[in-house]
Structure 1
Amino acid sequence: MFFASDNAGPAHPQVMQHVMDANAGYAASYGADDLMRGVEAKVREIFEAPEAAVYLVATGTAANALALACHTQPWQTVFCSPVSHIHEDECNAPEFYSSGAKLTLVPGGDKMAPDALRASIEGEESRGVHGPQRGPVSITQVTERGSVHSLEELRALTGIAQEFGLPVHLDGARFANAMVRLGCSAAEMTWKSGVDVVSFGGTKNGCMGVEAVVLFDPAKAWEFELRRKRGAHLFSKHRYLSAQMAGYLEKDLWLETARAANDACTYLTAGLRARGVAFLHEPQANMIFARFPARIHERLHAAGAKYYIWEGTLEGADADEMLAARLVCDWSITREQIDLFLSHFE
């Protein structure tokens, strides 16, 4: 009953087999391996972007920070949600890798509203040399609260960015989960909707640790390579990143694992709803924020369930006190585990 994070689940056997297969003999280092050439071709095919520059790093923070640094000057600001990963969970890495650019938090929730984004953009470049200049817009898909932007919502935000001549970054740590939910193509969710660069996640969806940065403007490629090396994120034994991504993409495994995680979340959501559980946000991908009594939390913890209590604290709580939890389904969670979890609500 492990619902703490999709980071905590196992790597998929297909990904592991590709790593084992790559662990034979010798291969060129620093991304010059043959596997990487195949990964580049496959990612370009998936995104319908034959000129795109494709690079691999080991973490989502590196992917986001390096991608944003290529599109941000130190005197600029990045517009993002107050609960975006780049703001809440990356220890100022975007600011560090961009040599000091700041973040401007667009008022609202996990999804930026177009009017709020416009007002935030208009609020900058208002103090001449004394204030930050306008920089990229960063959108998270799936959001940190489990919501998925529709294509129309994405285009509304990117349209405003384009009005001001600003590039758009998409944090796609759960990219596949969002795509499966929308039933669209990778191209439709990115460059066809006005996105300039995407962090294409693998770690949360069945890989050991690999993320792709896809730059739709190949003119940014050399800068990314320099920033990746200077930032200590260029692996010498790069083939082990390449092998993971190759296994992840083979036979559309990335869609299969995302679908499994989303379906598990749908099943868990239905079970919780049938038991009268209230949701803080409507679940749309593989993440749930739900509120239920402390006595049930106690029961679940005693049975070994793992998840985060999101609001409040269990220690000293009254039995009927309502505490919020974050529950995340990964590709490997089974219906038997979900049923066991739900049995403690009865």
Structure 2
Amino acid sequence: MNFASDNIVGASRPVLEALVSANAGAQPAYGGDDATRAVETMLCEIFERDCAVFLVATGTAANALALSALVPPYGLTICHAEAHVIDDECGAPEFFTGGAKLAGVPGVGGKIAPRTLSDWLAARSGHEKEMPARALSISQATEGGLVYDASEIGALCDIAREAGLSVHMDGARFANALVASGLTPAQTTWKLGVDVLSFGATKNGCLAAEAVVFFDPARAEAMRFLRKRSGHTLSKGRLLGAQLQGYLAHDHWLSNARHANAMAARLAQGVVALPGARLGFPCEANEVFPVLPRETVTRLRAAGAMFHPWSARSLSAGERVAPHEMLVRLVTSFATTEQEIEAFLSVARG
């Protein structure tokens, strides 16, 4: 009954098989291998355009390096106040950008509303005493488990473009958001105005593999130097490429995400039927955020269930967590089983 996150499980079988296969023989180092070249081609095909692709081992590296390619040391990245880049990466974006800062704005469920962004930008003086905004970073899915729809992304990108901002998407759970949207990868990214995507894979079946995707290769020149200078260009790059080969082949990444989302929907349905329970945010991808009675939380933990308490700062205006309640996060993965969900709900029912 471990719902702490989707990075607590190992890799899926196709990923492991691809990794073992790529391990044999000799291949050029530093990303010059066949597997890396194949993944670059696959991602260009998936996104329906020529892209510049850079493989790294962690999501923190993907986000921080992507932003370092977009934002100068004197610049500013706008993001949600509880976004991973500002709240959970130990200042990595600031470190890799050489001192650029992040500015967090509010929004229900981790989403930035277009009006919030436009009002924030309008309030800027443009004085040299202020760090100028140079990028917008949005999370897909958000820290509240919500999925931006195409109209929301398009509106945010339009506002950003008018203000001269680049747009970065933190796609740690991009696959989960994508299958929930029913759109194609292109329809949810560059066709709407996204410039750079941190394409997550570790949470959805890989051991440790992410990709930074620049939708305009002309803007990616600095990235290969930034990646190497930061120590994130792997000598045995084929081990990253192989993971992503197994992940992307035969739409395995989408199958994994569909399963995780289906398990989350099943869990959410069971949770709302519990006495005194409700959802803090709608379940749209593979995360469930229930508000539970504290006695239920205590019973679950005593039975060995694993999950995290969650901040209530991004709840809607009319929602409150009472002293006898707790907002928690439950995350399902490609490996979650119906049996785990039923065991959790059985304990929760008491």
* TM norm. shorter chain > 0.5: yes
Q: Is the 8 A contact 1:311 1:323 kept in 2?
A: no
Q: Aligned partners of 1:132 and 1:95: how far apart in 2?
A: 13
Query: How many angstroms does 1:321 deviate by?
Result: 2.3
Q: Aligned partners of 1:96 and 1:292: how far apart in 2?
A: 38
Deviations 1:256-307 (A, max 9, x none): 0000000000000111112242111111100111121222222212222111
Q: Aligned partners of 1:117 and 1:153: how far apart in 2?
A: 12
Unaligned runs of 5+ in 1: 313-319
Q: Aligned partners of 1:267 and 1:331: how far apart in 2?
A: 14
Q: Is the 8 A contact 2:227 2:233 kept in 1?
A: yes
Query: Residue type matched to 1:293 in 2?
Result: P
Deviations 1:35-83 (A, max 9, x none): 111101100000001x210110001110011111111111111111001
Deviations 1:166-224 (A, max 9, x none): 11000000000000000000000100011000000000001001111100111123200
TM, length-normalised to structure 1: 0.95
Query: Residue type matched to 2:161 in 1?
Result: Q
Matched, 1:334 2:337: yes
- Where does residue 54 of structure 1 map in the other structure? 53
Percent of aligned pairs sharing the same letter: 46
Q: Aligned partners of 1:112 and 1:78: how far apart in 2?
A: 13
The RMSD of aligned alpha carbons is 1.3
- Where does residue 37 of structure 1 map in the other structure? 37
Secondary structure, in 3 states, of the residue corresponding to 1:213?
strand
- Where does residue 315 of structure 1 map in the other structure? none
Aligned residues: 337
Deviations 1:205-245 (A, max 9, x none): 01001111100111123200000001110100111000000
Unaligned runs of 5+ in 2: 313-322
Give 4+ residue runs of structure 1 displaced > 6 Å after superposition. Answer: none
- Where does residue 180 of structure 1 map in the other structure? 179
Q: Is the 8 A contact 2:126 2:132 kept in 1?
A: no
Q: Aligned partners of 1:29 and 1:123: how far apart in 2?
A: 49
Q: Aligned partners of 1:129 and 1:298: how far apart in 2?
A: 52
- Where does residue 321 of structure 1 map in the other structure? 324
Q: Aligned partners of 1:122 and 1:135: how far apart in 2?
A: 14
Q: Is the 8 A contact 2:200 2:210 kept in 1?
A: yes
Query: How many angstroms does 1:123 deviate by?
Result: 2.9
- Where does residue 91 of structure 1 map in the other structure? 90
- Where does residue 70 of structure 1 map in the other structure? 69
Q: Is the 8 A contact 1:4 1:327 kept in 2?
A: yes
Matched, 1:28 2:31: no
Secondary structure, in 3 states, of the residue corresponding to 1:176?
helix
Secondary structure, in 3 states, of the residue corresponding to 2:70?
coil
- Where does residue 232 of structure 1 map in the other structure? 231
